[in-house]
Structure formats: C-alpha cells, structure tokens
Chains A and B, each alone.
Chain A
Amino acid sequence: MSGSDAAARPDDASAPSGEVAASDLLLSQVVREQSGRIVAALARSLGSLDIAEEAVAEAVEEALRGWRKGGIPPNPGAWLTQAARHNALDRLRREKSYREKLARMGPGIDPESAAPKDAWPDSSAELDDRLPLLFGCCHPALAPEAQLALTLRAVCGLTTAQIARATFSTEPATAQRIVRAKRKIGATGILLRVPDATDRAARLDIVLTIVSVMYSEAHLVAGGDAAADRDLADDALWLAGVIAAALPREAEAHGLLALLLFHRARESARSVDGELVLMADQDRSRWNQTLIVRARAELEQAARLRRPGRWQLHAAIAACHADAETAAKTDLLQVLVLYDLLIGYDPSPVVRLNRAVALDRVGAPTAALTEVDALEGQLTRTHLWHAVRAHLLRRLGRDDEALAADLHALELTANDAERRLLAARTGR
C-alpha cells in the first residue's frame, strides 16, 4: 500500500487513491462513531449480542458500498440504525422459521425463553453505552485474540476483512473467531456490563491491554511498511479516548490514553519514507507537540486521582523521552527509576527487557546483559530480545556474538521495516 492512502482504512485494497481514499477515511470515521452505540442499543433491545452485532456488521458493509458511490447521507447514524434494525428483523424471522421447523421435528426448543430478559441490564444513563459492550467483548472467559477481534468489529465497526488484514489472519479464521466468541457470550451468560468495584480494576486492565495490543498490532503487520497501517493505531487511540471520557475517575484509563498519545506524537519521526527510525536517531522537530501537550494533560489528570498503575508508569516513561530536547538530554536515571516501579506492577519479560535497556543507558551494560540473559527461554523467540542482546554485546566489544544475535533477530522479524533496520545493522 502506498503512503497516500495509508490514512484510510484499508477496506478495499483496489480502491483508487485521491478523493475516494479521502472519503473512505471519512466513511470509516463515521462508521466508527456510530456502530458501537447501535450494537449496544440493539443488543439490549433484542437480548442477543450475536444478532445485533451481525445486523450492524451487515449494515456497515452496505454503508461502505453504498456511501462510497452515493455519498454519506445527512444523518448516517439514523441510516445505519435503520439498516441494522432491518437486518436484525430479517435474521430473527429466519431464525423463527428455523425454530418452528425444529419444533415440528421434536420437543425441547422454546423460542420464548431464547434469552433471559434481564440478561442485558439497562446501563446507567450517564454512562457511554459502548462501555458495557466493550467490557463484554473483553471478558476474561474469551481468549485474547477473540477479545481483540470482537472489540474491533462490535465496538470499532471494522469489517471482518479489515480485521483479518490488521491482525495478520485470514478472513474465514477471523469470522469464525468472532462467531465463536459471540456464541460463548450468549450461551454462557456473559453480561454486557461494566463490572462493579470489586472486579473493576482487573477487568479494566484487560480492556486497556486489548486497546494497547490494538495500537501495537498496527505496527507489527507482517510485510507491512512502517506507515502503511496507521489506521488500527488510530482506532486504538480513539477507543482509549472513549474509555477515558466515559470513566473519568479511572486513573489507568487516562494513563493508557496518555501513553498512546505520546506514541502517536512520535509516529511521523518514527517512520520516515517507510523506514523505521530508532528513538535516539529521530528528528525531534517532527514530534507532534499538540499531541504531546494532550498526552501530558492526560497524565496529569491521572496523577491527580492518586491511583498509580502500570499504564501511567509506561506513560511517565514516554513523557521522560518527550521532555528531552535531544536524546542525550534524556533523564535516564528517572527512566530507570520508573522502570523499577513498573516492574512492581508488571513483571512481564518484555518490561524486564526494557528495564535492561534503561540499565545500559545509565552506563551499566554488563548488568544489563546479565538481566537480558536471565530472560533467555522466555523471550528467545522474539526478535526484540536478540536485537537488544546484539546491541549490548556490541557495546561490550563482543562483535562476533553481536552479529550472530542480530542475524537471529533478523530471522525472527516478519515486518519489512524492522527487517531493513536490522539488515542495515548486520550489513546484509
């Protein structure tokens, strides 16, 4: 995909560029703004997420086809709602005749009791009704890949084809993943609701993790260029904003939004002409100061709530980098201290790897290498571990081992831009 239509959701790879690509971007924004709300409302009134979601997904496909030709109608939300209702009724009718056929064949199926009436509680009026939907899609009883796919479709309004491309999967596999997840929600009594206080923090963390995965997934598309898939990152940023606005008292929601804003601010410096640029080498004048200001404001709002957590710490680390005029002026000790704190909340191997990098940057490459080697086995299959190790070995003058590690990293990365970066380092 070329850079010019990169901003548009890649709905149709063959779509011509120029005006149509721009209107595709507008289309996807309109759809995104409306579809989650319509799914939530329809699921509540029908008592079935499965039917509601399917009906809205169909309406979205119809809208993308029709609007591209005829333009966006004056009230796109009403258009989508009506189309989705129509599709839902159609589906219910088909299902009813199916049930009736079944009833004639034998006893046991009672269409009236298809769904418990209280299964879809009314969300409180002041809450964005997409939040209960989002928490349902990210229920821990669903596998993470299913949480991601279902969230992208039901909450963000992506089509199955778009999700398949964005998550490096096939369309049938993605479709099946979504169908299974919805069936499980229906059959096992998973409610679409925001969990109460006892479960709130743990469940919110799952939701925020999915949003963060959504953001980073955009950069990991195999074969993708650094700027080609900005759109899923845009969806993640949008969703983080929706969550923080709906749950203003949740510090971590602001923390994640701040983190993604910091990342987004650096994006145009991170990838230049499809090539990946490491943070130390980035042209900082290309960092988007407006986004950095917004990120700082979110982080400050989070801090005022006085409930620290891992997303706020990640964001605070990103803030250290954003604060530095040059890479050399970064407050590296502060970064290391923040990583030490972060490990208390999130002792995952990736965080420990990042802490090792921070350790190296305060002048302790030997200690850093020891830390990295301690993660062997847990991260050996990721290119990042080999790349960091290569960097440390080179710092310590162990060039042959460094080259071997870089080659391992090169073998393990599927993203074109990352491959070129590593290839440049190994001289291949």
Chain B
Amino acid sequence: MKYVIMFTFDPELDAQVPADRMQGLYARAYEWYGVNAAQIAAGGAQLQPVETATTLKYSESGTVVVDGPFSEAKEVVGGFDVIDVPDLDAAIALVRTWPFLELPGWGVEIRPILTSGSQSEE
C-alpha cells in the first residue's frame, strides 16, 4: 500500500536545537533515506521554510490569496514522502526510525493514498 508521510515540526523549538546536534540529525536522516530507499517511492520533497507559503482560501466574496500556511498551528509541514509498504504496521515501523522524532515538536502523519478501489468513505 502507498502512504504519504508528512513531516511536521515546530520551527521555534527547532531553532533552539544546537547546530551540531542538528547536523548530526541531518546526517542520520540522509542515511535513513539510503537504508529505506526500497520503500520510498518517487515524488517526495522537502519544503522551503513556512514563511514562503501562500494560501488560497474560500471567502464569501470570492477566493482570496493570503500570506502564510493553511493552518494557524505552531507546527508546520516541512516535507513529505510517498512510501510503499505492505500495511500500516510496516509504515509505523518505518516512520518510528525517522531520526528527527527525537526532537520535541516533531510529528509524522501517515495517510493512505486514495487509489481506485480503495475502501474509502461510501
């Protein structure tokens, strides 16, 4: 099954992490992609900082363009990947090893991709 994994973090908390620790985590994240290459499908991306986000929103007087991300939450989406694994347990096992989960504020959301024939809402 294919899942999108979305990496979220709190930029304020990340900013407090010492640079050398951050460097170490980036190195391990790079390794993580190498070790798990077989399970990671093409199409993932790391995103530019949240300050670069632009959002289009519904409004009664027509769509508006606003500066900033879609949500007011402190946590922001930092990137995403598509993984192809047998089932949710395999996805959880893979994501559990993501090095940045050692940092406060980090989260990884796992969502199955809707495919033709998916058991989705009726």
Asked whether A191 is an interface residue with its Cβ less than 8 Å from the other chain, the reply is yes
Closest to B110 in A: A188
User: For A111, what are the chain B residues with a Cβ–Cβ distance below 8 Å?
Assistant: 117
Bound Cα distance from A108 to B120, whole angstroms: 13
Bound Cα distance from A189 to B122, whole angstroms: 17
User: For A50, what are the chain B residues with a Cβ–Cβ distance below 8 Å?
Assistant: 119
Interface size in chain B (residues, C-beta < 8 A): 20
Partner pick for A114 among B3, B86, B110, B119, CB 8 A cutoff: B119
Asked whether A75 is an interface residue with its Cβ less than 8 Å from the other chain, the reply is no
Partner pick for B88 among A108, A113, A190, CB 8 A cutoff: A190
User: For A188, what are the chain B residues with a Cβ–Cβ distance below 8 Å?
Assistant: 88, 110-112
B117–A187 touching, CB < 8 Å: no
Contact with B along A109-132 (1 / 0, CB 8 A): 111111110110000000000000
Bound Cα distance from A118 to B120, whole angstroms: 18
Instruction: Give the shortest distance, in Å, between B119 (CB) and chain A (any CB).
Output: 4
A183-B121, A189-B1 as given contacts; A113 in contact with B87, CB under 8 Å:
no
Instruction: Give the shortest distance, in Å, between A358 (CB) and chain B (any CB).
Output: 34
Bound Cα distance from A113 to B1, whole angstroms: 12
Bound Cα distance from A118 to B1, whole angstroms: 11
User: For B111, what are the chain A residues with a Cβ–Cβ distance below 8 Å?
Assistant: 188
Asked whether B48 is an interface residue with its Cβ less than 8 Å from the other chain, the reply is no
User: For A187, what are the chain B residues with a Cβ–Cβ distance below 8 Å?
Assistant: 112, 118-120
User: For B88, what are the chain A residues with a Cβ–Cβ distance below 8 Å?
Assistant: 139, 141, 188-191
Partner pick for A113 among B116, B120, B121, B122, CB 8 A cutoff: B116
Asked whether A199 is an interface residue with its Cβ less than 8 Å from the other chain, the reply is yes
A108–B116 touching, CB < 8 Å: yes
Instruction: Give the shortest distance, in Å, between A181 (CB) and chain B (any CB).
Output: 13
Contact with A along B86-101 (1 / 0, CB 8 A): 1111011100000000
Contact with B along A125-151 (1 / 0, CB 8 A): 000000000000001010000000000
A115–B119 touching, CB < 8 Å: yes
A114–B120 touching, CB < 8 Å: no
A154-211 residues at the B interface, CB under 8 angstroms? 183, 186-191, 195, 199
Asked whether A312 is an interface residue with its Cβ less than 8 Å from the other chain, the reply is no
Bound Cα distance from A141 to B120, whole angstroms: 17
Partner pick for A116 among B1, B91, B120, CB 8 A cutoff: B1
Closest to B1 in A: A189
Bound Cα distance from A331 to B90, whole angstroms: 47
Instruction: Give the shortest distance, in Å, between A234 (CB) and chain B (any CB).
Output: 32
A116-B1, A189-B1, A199-B89 as given contacts; A109 in contact with B116, CB under 8 Å:
yes
User: For A113, what are the chain B residues with a Cβ–Cβ distance below 8 Å?
Assistant: 115-117
Asked whether A212 is an interface residue with its Cβ less than 8 Å from the other chain, the reply is no
User: For A114, what are the chain B residues with a Cβ–Cβ distance below 8 Å?
Assistant: 117, 119
Partner pick for B119 among A110, A112, A186, CB 8 A cutoff: A186
Instruction: Give the shortest distance, in Å, between A266 (CB) and chain B (any CB).
Output: 39
Asked whether A28 is an interface residue with its Cβ less than 8 Å from the other chain, the reply is no
A110–B116 touching, CB < 8 Å: yes
Contact with B along A99-114 (1 / 0, CB 8 A): 0000000001111111
A189–B120 touching, CB < 8 Å: no
Instruction: Give the shortest distance, in Å, between B77 (CB) and chain A (any CB).
Output: 20
User: For A116, what are the chain B residues with a Cβ–Cβ distance below 8 Å?
Assistant: 1
Closest to B114 in A: A187
B119–A109 touching, CB < 8 Å: no
User: For A183, what are the chain B residues with a Cβ–Cβ distance below 8 Å?
Assistant: 119-121
Asked whether A81 is an interface residue with its Cβ less than 8 Å from the other chain, the reply is no
B117–A109 touching, CB < 8 Å: yes
Bound Cα distance from A119 to B115, whole angstroms: 16
Closest to B121 in A: A183
User: For B112, what are the chain A residues with a Cβ–Cβ distance below 8 Å?
Assistant: 187-189
Asked whether A87 is an interface residue with its Cβ less than 8 Å from the other chain, the reply is no
Asked whether A35 is an interface residue with its Cβ less than 8 Å from the other chain, the reply is no
Asked whether A48 is an interface residue with its Cβ less than 8 Å from the other chain, the reply is yes
Closest to A141 in B: B88
A119-B87, A190-B87, A195-B89 as given contacts; A112 in contact with B117, CB under 8 Å:
yes
User: For B122, what are the chain A residues with a Cβ–Cβ distance below 8 Å?
Assistant: 98
Closest to B90 in A: A189
Bound Cα distance from A39 to B48, whole angstroms: 48
25 A–B contacts, CB within 8 A, in A order: A48-B119, A109-B117, A110-B116, A110-B117, A111-B117, A112-B117, A113-B115, A113-B117, A115-B119, A116-B1, A119-B87, A141-B92, A187-B118, A187-B120, A188-B88, A188-B110, A189-B1, A189-B3, A189-B86, A189-B91, A189-B112, A191-B89, A195-B89, A199-B89, A199-B93
Given contacts A186-B119, A189-B112, A190-B87, 13 further A-B contacts (CB under 8 A): A113-B116, A114-B117, A115-B119, A119-B87, A141-B92, A188-B88, A188-B110, A189-B86, A189-B91, A190-B89, A191-B87, A191-B89, A199-B89
Top 9 A-B residue pairs of the complex, sorted by shortest distance between their CB atoms: A113-B117, A186-B119, A189-B87, A189-B1, A110-B117, A189-B88, A190-B88, A108-B116, A191-B87
